[in-house]
Amino acid sequence: MAKHLVWFRGDLRITDNKALFSACTDPEADVLAVFIATPEQWQKHDTSPRQIAFIHKNLIALRESLAQLGIPLVCQTVPNFSASIQWLSDFAQQQQIDALFFNRQYELNEYKRDRQLISQENSFQIHIFDDALLLPPKSVLNQKGEMYQVYTPFRRAFLSQLTASDFHSLQAPTKRANAIILEENEPLFEHDDIEIAACFPVGESAARQKLRQFCREKAENYQIDRDIPAIEGTSLLSPYLAIGVLSPRQCLNRLLVENPNVLDFPDSGAFCWLNELIWREFYYHLLVAFPHLCRDKPFIAWTNYIHWNTSSADLEAWKKGLTGYPIVDAAMRQLNTLGWMHNRLRMITASFLVKDLLIDWRQGEQYFMQQLIDGTLAANNGGWQWSASTGIDASPWFRIFNPTTQGKKFDPQGEFIRHWLPELQAVPNDCIHTPHEWAEKNQVVLAYPTPIVDHKLARLRTLEAFEAGKKESIASK
């Protein structure tokens, strides 16, 4: 009788999981599952304690779902990826595994780990699947056979190829006729016991319910509501996609159920959300096409010559939400409390760090990863390089957000600001974005810092720094 092993990584679900489904295709085969925790690797990758806690909670839910199928889940902790390969090989040999099944991961270190496993002599067959994306990397190329470096033509080619492909979602496997019972092995590993925000309930069922509710009730207005942080206008599904509790195919298929004509209406809210799913694909495809993006390198080489501000005081003020710019500080406090930040605010806070404080974007990228419950290298790096004007199809380097104007535009009454900055509760709506002007005029003492930088002067400094970096790059050649 065949014995199959499923290696769970960034795909903590039983529904629409290609590796699990394939491993269970033979009704007579015994099926086991493993998850390997790698704390040293998590630390090296700046994985946030909150995301690790979220993984842990969802592993418990996954174990229960697998147990109902007659599949035991074994969890093992080893230091790093190299040790995980050794443990996996030993475990497969001990269990007399015939075939190993897993879904591909696209980051550089994960790719090298898998190549190490494939290249060694194994006593089992290996079956690998492209599961984490709607279309695998290197499948959407331009006429020269190269990766697109501009998003819009990528999206056009992506949609053309997607609609001609099979993107249906797989059902969860049926219960095994030969259920395996192993000695009890709790899927536990050492981690900080961090409370997860109520807006991110644990488990597949909860995630699918959030997906259905969003597509049915909110997708239609997403294009308008997504920029207003005071309302719940976004899907809040990114943490589930990040660790694979949901698949992108599930997201797309549910969107099509509720909005069957979405592809015919590119100006609709539903298409706007689909566009975000495609941006996610774009950033993953870029990681594979340009591996140096996984190594703290900008895509635009000349930006390496920019001389950044190294002030630790400025960086700490930004991290703690004490810059004196209310929309920036409210956003950073949301991040520090929930491990999540509204997408519009990610752009505002990133722009402020890089183009008001002139601090290296990699400092911000690292801090976000250390905090985010939904952090992934692809999306985080892509977003930061876009905001910093160092990446592919990025915001032009001379485009600099005015944080006060951004606050007035997207939180006009200060509802979001007051929620996260209680020290500004008494400030009137029309003054909430410039509270110190109001305080000075009314002789009120605020327990809130004055702006750490003058935006107009900072803008000029940043333009000069980028221009100087570009000239220095040219001179060095």
Active-site residue identified among 42, 384, 420, 438: 384
Active-site residue identified among 7, 42, 279, 420: 279
234 is in an annotated binding site: yes
277 is in an annotated binding site: yes
Q: At 430, give phi and psi (nearest 5°).
A: -75, -5
- H/E element holding 82? helix 81-94
CA distance 19 to 475: 52
279 is in an annotated binding site: yes
Task: Determine contact, residues 133/286, Cβ cutoff 8 Å.
Answer: no
Active site residue 276: yes
CA distance 230 to 248: 27
283 is in an annotated binding site: yes
CA distance 223 to 446: 36
Task: Determine contact, residues 223/404, Cβ cutoff 8 Å.
Answer: no
CA distance 287 to 446: 46
Active-site residue identified among 7, 318, 361, 386: 361
Active site residue 361: yes
Positive or negative, the CA dihedral 372, 376, 381, 383 is: negative
Active site residue 318: no
91 is in an annotated binding site: no
358 is in an annotated binding site: no
Active-site residue identified among 221, 253, 308, 336: 308
281 is in an annotated binding site: yes
- With 0-12 / 13-18 / 19 or more C-beta atoms within 10 angstroms meaning exposed / middle / buried, residue 87 is middle
222 is in an annotated binding site: yes
- H/E element holding 126? strand 125-129
Active site residue 343: yes
- DSSP-derived letter for residue 76 is E
Active site residue 397: no
Which tokens is 295 given? 């190594």
Active site residue 87: no
Active-site residue identified among 109, 336, 343, 402: 343
Task: Determine contact, residues 19/127, Cβ cutoff 8 Å.
Answer: yes
Active-site residue identified among 276, 336, 415, 472: 276
Task: Determine contact, residues 58/202, Cβ cutoff 8 Å.
Answer: yes
- H/E element holding 35? strand 30-37
Q: Which residues are catalytic?
A: 276, 279, 308, 343, 361, 384
Show binding-site residues. Answer: 222, 234-238, 273, 276-283
Show binding-site residues for FAD. Answer: 222, 234-238, 273, 276-283
